[in-house]
């Protein structure tokens, strides 16, 4: 048998011109794919650049309205808020988390006042409020205790809802917290408040810049491997997601993002629930530093990584690049 003179199918026909590539694209990014995390600081009229996250700042509450308007006009549907609690308000028992006038609650109200139609997501975990930097209460042996922590997380979620949060996102990885929060929200009449569970959250080295941004890094005693997942596991992620869905999560999240795209894809394929990925602080920093070092074009690196989340099946992405990426898409 002789070889045919020509290949019967030339895949390059589909790549030959921009219009053809556009027509055949299987996945597309849109500004509505993004949730924009913002850091909040105390003070008046402040912008505090975060050294560990080039291009990202903490904003005082009265500067958040501007950010919300920027996000809304770029088509970003939702903002996620993280407070840098002043040191004197951090304690062993994280009581500031339950203060209805704390930084995060003030931030939620400021955003809702400025732009009522943008979604606001708040993080449920104690690390911005504890003197030891852990997401829960710590016992005498330095171990994070589950059930007492869950009681506090429930109170924290109720306080955030009272301030106007649309989505509460437990990022603490305690067992049973989603069910406990769901039941308490229903009892309190917050039946419209959604839960996005940080369902598969790994004990990752990519959270470093975030911990600087919220001021918990220097305080952290030990590590979070007793509650966050082992990066070696992915079947376990499916069990975590199944539990959180059964307990009432409306949407689930995989975190970090790029190193765990396989998990994003398995979760989406297995459960068909809204599945978000968090492109975390260390991933953001990696792209920014690579671009600054001349290793690649920043915007191209940004868009290629964001598109990868869509290809893996993510419904959307929490990313510090949200505003820049949305503006690029808007042209």
Q: Is 255 a catalytic residue?
A: yes
Min dist CB 207 to ligand PBG, Å, is 4
Burial of 179 per CB tally in 10 Å (0-12, 13-18, 19+): middle
Residues 61-100, one symbol each (x = binds ligand PBG by CB under 6 A, - = not), give ----------------------------------------
- Of 220, 195, 186, the closest CA to residue 205 belongs to 220
Binding window for ligand PBG (CB under 6 A); candidates: 4-12, 85-93, 105-113, 203-211: 203-211
Binding to ligand PBG (CB under 6 A): which residues in 221-240? Answer: 224
Q: According to the binding rule CB under 6 A, does residue 207 interact with ligand PBG?
A: yes
Asked if 33 interacts with ligand PBG (CB under 6 A), we say no
Catalytic residue among 112, 201, 224, 310: 201
By the rule CB under 6 A, 281 interacts with ligand PBG? yes
Structural contact between residues 193 and 161, judged by C-beta atoms closer than 8 angstroms:
yes
Residue 127 binds ligand PBG, judged by CB under 6 A: yes
Residue number, 177 or 182, with CB nearest to ligand PBG: 177
State yes or no: residue 211 binds ligand PBG (CB under 6 A). Answer: yes
DSSP-based three-state secondary structure for 70:
helix
> Do the Cβ atoms of 317 and 305 come closer than 8 Å?
no
* Look-up of token digits 């903002």: 79
Q: Is 287 helix (H, G, I), strand (E, B) or coil?
A: helix
- Pick the catalytic residue from 112, 151, 224, 255: 255
Whether 201 is catalytic: yes
Q: How far is the CB of 276 from ligand PBG (least distance, A)?
A: 12
**Separation of alpha carbons 103 and 96, rounded Å:** 9
139 contacts: CB under 8 Å, gap ≥ 6: 145
């Amino acid at each position: 048998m002789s070889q045919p003179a020509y290949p019967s199918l030339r895949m390059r026909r589909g790549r030959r011109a921009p219009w053809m590539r556009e027509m055949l694209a299987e996945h597309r990014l849109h500004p509505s794919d993004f949730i924009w995390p913002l850091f909040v600081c105390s003070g008046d009229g402040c912008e505090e650049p975060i050294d560990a996250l080039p291009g990202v700042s903490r904003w005082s509450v009265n500067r958040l309205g501007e950010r919300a308007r920027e996000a809304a006009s770029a088509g970003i549907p939702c903002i996620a808020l993280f407070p840098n609690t002043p040191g004197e308000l951090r304690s062993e028992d994280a009581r500031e988390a339950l203060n209805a006038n704390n930084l995060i609650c003030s931030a939620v109200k400021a955003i809702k006042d400025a732009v009522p139609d943008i979604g606001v997501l708040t993080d449920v975990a104690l690390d911005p409020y504890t003197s030891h930097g852990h997401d829960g209460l710590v016992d005498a042996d330095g171990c994070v205790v589950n059930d007492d922590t869950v009681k506090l997380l429930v109170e924290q979620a109720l306080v955030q809802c009272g301030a106007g949060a649309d989505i509460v996102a437990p990022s603490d990885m305690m067992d049973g917290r989603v069910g406990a929060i769901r039941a308490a929200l229903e009892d309190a009449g917050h039946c419209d408040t959604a839960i996005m569970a940080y369902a598969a959250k790994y004990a990752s080295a990519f959270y470093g810049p975030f911990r600087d941004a919220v001021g918990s890094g220097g305080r952290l005693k030990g590590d979070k491997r007793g509650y966050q997942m082992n990066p070696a596991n992915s079947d376990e992620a499916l069990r975590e997601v199944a539990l959180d869905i059964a307990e009432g999560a409306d949407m689930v999240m995989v975190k970090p993002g790029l190193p765990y795209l396989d998990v994003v894809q398995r979760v989406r394929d297995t459960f068909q629930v809204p599945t978000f990925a968090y492109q975390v602080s260390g991933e953001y920093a990696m792209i920014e530093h690579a671009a600054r070092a001349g290793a690649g074009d920043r915007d191209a690196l940004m868009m290629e990584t964001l598109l990868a989340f869509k290809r893996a099946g993510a419904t959307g992405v929490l990313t510090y690049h949200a505003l820049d990426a949305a503006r690029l898409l808007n042209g």
